[in-house]
Amino acid sequence: MAAYEYSCSLCGPFDVRLAIGTAPPTYGCPVCSAAARRVFSAPALSVVPPGVASLHEREEKSREAPAVVSEVPSGERRPLPRPHPALSRLPRP
């Protein structure tokens, strides 16, 4: 389903949810039943969650100006997590 925008000359704009590709050029106004013409507008593609938008922005920045490493990272290693105790009771091949 897609939202299509129509504009009634008497009542103003309104949205109609129809199957994709089935929107007629005119549609009856839900208030006054007059023929309203379809209005073409940009899709709402810019409405994304803030986390996704920041990831896209960071990815785009890395294309143009990737982060440069100026020195070798320190040799500090994190200890490996201990295995779950139940794993020791599993049969071995």
Instruction: For the sheet with 35-39, list strands across it.
Output: 12-18, 2-8, 35-39, 26-28
39-77 pLDDT tens trace: 998 776 667 888 988 998 988 888 888 888 888 878 788
The pLDDT > 90 percentage for the chain reads 45
Q: Where is 20: in which H helix or E strand? A: none
d(CA 66, CA 4): 41
d(CA 54, CA 62): 12
CB 15 within 8 A of CB 23: no
First to last CA, the chain: 53
